[in-house]
Amino acid sequence: MSNLSINVNTISTDDLIRENRPYMKLYLEDFMYGCRSSGLKLEEIGMYIVALAHQFRSGRPLRNDMQCFDELRHFSGVNIRSIRRVLPILLDGSKAKFEEIPDGSGDMWNVRVVREITAFVEHKRRIRERS
């Protein structure tokens, strides 16, 4: 397990849920290597990128529940049956791309997304401090 809980807790809730992050860095080699090494199928890769983008934009954790499935449906336009079938594969088991915060909440985060949100928030703080 990574130090995910430390990283998430260093960002205020307000910073996490702001929807003004206009882009997300995607490290292509890392992304494709992770997909290949996990044996992700095409549909799983598609849901993975949708889940990453949603998490980065919304600043909210993923969960294996209907509320999260519905948020992803509204965000992406993907039908709920596909989300219910594919997202649990990315949250649990050998293909998992998200880690549970060890606080018992069931909240799941992608480590790279947490790192990128943290860097984005810190960059914005430095800019505000210089102004």
Domain boundaries, the chain: 4-130
Structure tokens at 95: 């293909």
Separation CA 84–CA 104 (nearest Å): 22
Structure tokens at 23: 């882009």
Tens digits of residue pLDDT in 45-98: 999 999 999 998 888 889 888 999 999 999 999 999 999 999 988 988 788 889
Separation CA 40–CA 34 (nearest Å): 9
pTM of the model: 0.80
Residue 35: pLDDT band with limits 50, 70, 90? very high
Count of residues in the chain: 131
- The pLDDT of 18-40, averaged and rounded, is 85
Q: Considering only CA atoms, which of 62, 52, 59, 51 is closest in space to residue 13?
A: 59
Contact 54, 11 (CB under 8 A): no
Identity (one letter) of the amino acid at 130?
A: R
Burial label, 115 (beta-carbon count in 10 A; 0-12, 13-18, 19+): middle
